Amino acid sequence: MIESRGADIKSLPHTTTFYPPRLGQQVWYLHHSTRATWLGKRNVQVEASDDAGNLPSETLTYSYQELHSSEVKTQVDRDGRVILEGRDGKLLSWMTVTDLGIADDSGEIRPDWRSRWMVVFFQSTSVTDNSTGIDVLCDRKKELDQETVYDIGIALESMEGLPEESRKVETFRVTHDSGRDEERKRREKAEYKNWEKRTGPDVGISPDLVYNDEEQKGGSNCTVQ
């Protein structure tokens, strides 16, 4: 049994009948790693895409900056698998995790507001390969709580089959600064615009709605400010 400080952690088996969770179509942030490949890197972000014909594996595209360079570089990894997942932070005693969100003692349910994280394990393919290790990814740029990092380390220490160096989650922390903030703002603006343009009876938005970046074709005076 894992003796943690209260973090929400799930240990995930890897068998022929169990497929680990997928990272999905979103940007993740690399916060901690034991892989030497990330030494001297900052603002490391990760996006996943399916390997056609080779499900359930995912191709992970890492983008990053060197410590003293603004250039964004990329690296692709295909051999990672998720071995732990959880949420950042503890809940109070009167809060309960449900399939629909966080329930209080009155039964009211709210969406889970905590950051989501995953630990991805990479196994080396040769004796000269230095990519063996684990990456701790989070769906938010904000640094993980230290108690969460501690609990991840405890969970890793109890897992069989991992190399010793992969169990030391605090080997080094990956820095996130303002170097890619403009890129993030552009991405979030585009995502919001795509969400904003959903129309039709299913979402309750008029298909006659005219947006500021489109020419009005007549009829409707509706705009989105």
Please give the residue range of the domain that contains residue 117: 8-176
Give the model's pLDDT for residue 92.
76
Q: How many domains does the chain have?
A: 2
Report the distance separating Cα 207 and Cα 225, nearest Å. Answer: 16
Asked whether residue 167 falls in the same domain as residue 187, the answer is no
CA dist 75 → 24, 38, 191 (Å)? 18, 11, 24
Asked whether residue 150 falls in the same domain as residue 200, the answer is no
Instruction: Examine residue 3 and state whether it is found in any structural domain, yes or no.
Output: no
Report the distance separating Cα 28 and Cα 189, nearest Å. Answer: 17
Asked whether residue 49 falls in the same domain as residue 133, the answer is yes
Kindly give, in sequence order, each residue whose CB lies less than 8 Å from that of residue 8, ignoring residues fewer than 6 positions away: 86, 87, 90, 91, 97, 114
List, in sequence order, every beta strand (DSSP E) within 51-113. 58-66, 72-77, 80-87, 96-98, 101-103, 109-110
Nearest alpha carbon to residue 47 among 25, 73, 18, 17: 25
Asked whether residue 199 falls in the same domain as residue 168, the answer is no
Report the distance separating Cα 46 and Cα 49, nearest Å. Answer: 10
Instruction: Examine residue 213 and state whether it is found in any structural domain, yes or no.
Output: yes
Give the model's pLDDT for residue 5.
40
**C-beta of residue 34 within 8 angstroms of C-beta of residue 133:** yes
Report the distance separating Cα 137 and Cα 82, nearest Å. Answer: 10
**C-beta of residue 81 within 8 angstroms of C-beta of residue 120:** yes
Asked whether residue 27 falls in the same domain as residue 122, the answer is yes
Asked whether residue 198 falls in the same domain as residue 91, the answer is no
Low-confidence stretches of the chain (pLDDT < 50) are 1-7, 13-19, 52-56, 216, 220-225
CATH of the domain at 74: 2.40.128
Give the model's pLDDT for residue 59.
84
Asked whether residue 196 falls in the same domain as residue 88, the answer is no
Asked whether residue 44 falls in the same domain as residue 153, the answer is yes
- DSSP state, residue 172: E
Asked whether residue 136 falls in the same domain as residue 198, the answer is no
Give the model's pLDDT for residue 220.
47
Q: What's CA 224's distance to the chain center, in Å?
A: 31
